[in-house]
Amino acid sequence: MSNSWFDQLGVFDLETTGIDVETSRIVSAHVGVIDASGAVIEERAWLADPGVEIPPQASAVHGITTARARAEGRPAAEVVAEIVAALEDLVARGLAITIYNAPYDLSLLHHEAVRYGVTPLHEPVPIIDPLVLDRAVDKYRKGKRTLEAAALFYGVPLTDAHDAGADAVAAGRVAQALAGRYGDQLAVTGAELHALQVGWCAEQSASFQDYMRRTKDPSFTSSGSWPQRW
């Protein structure tokens, strides 16, 4: 299938100050493009001064301290505007954008844009989320579904996990590996796959919510919105 969504693929990842999409800030980011072989053909990277302290537990994950962000990072408002513009450019060019666990990165970026008066990214299509794809095509596989685990399972090198660039590129290559292995289910247009993922994520979330309510917390709720959550 020539000119498939995976022949030339946008990739995007953020490293941040925390896990709450409404309050966490962007520390570093990567927007790039990989070709059909998974080779990087375009890349842009950012280091921001988030304007707040980076918690030690976050620094322990991505290796960026408050001191380094303040010394080397650019103003967060400028960085956020440039990330949005770079993603808008990929969408305008018709490229699918791979984001592992897309609702986290896209929702956090939305809140950052609003925080700094930047016009948010408007309903980008198509988004490719290898986490949603993997859970859909291999529903009953045991074990973690982190990017590191998926990269290992699909034979994708990931030597510098939690670096925005390494993670973004690895996510794109995992998406391509999934397309190669599950072409019967994933060889559709990017727009069609985007629509399928909306449904798949809703199903996965409902299943997880049901499991949590039965086993741990009867009041547990899980949002199935994809690729952004408010």
Domain boundaries, the chain: 9-189
What fold, for 9-189? Nucleotidyltransferase; domain 5 (3.30.420)
Structure confidence by residue, pLDDT tens digits, 203-216:
998 888 888 899 99
DSSP 91-135: HHTT--EE-TTHHHHHHHHHHHHHHTTPPPP---S-EE-HHHHHH
Instruction: Describe the strand order of the beta sheet including 26-34 as a list of residue ranges.
Output: 74-75, 40-49, 26-34, 9-16, 97-98, 127-128
Structure confidence by residue, pLDDT tens digits, 2-20:
469 999 999 999 999 999 9
The number of helices, as runs of H, and strands, as runs of E, in the chain is 9, 6
Q: What is the pTM assigned to this prediction? A: 0.94
Residue 113: CA atoms inside 13 Å, Cβ hemisphere, count? 17
Torsion sign over Cα 152, 157, 163, 167: negative
Structure confidence by residue, pLDDT tens digits, 23-63:
999 999 999 999 999 999 999 999 999 999 999 999 999 99
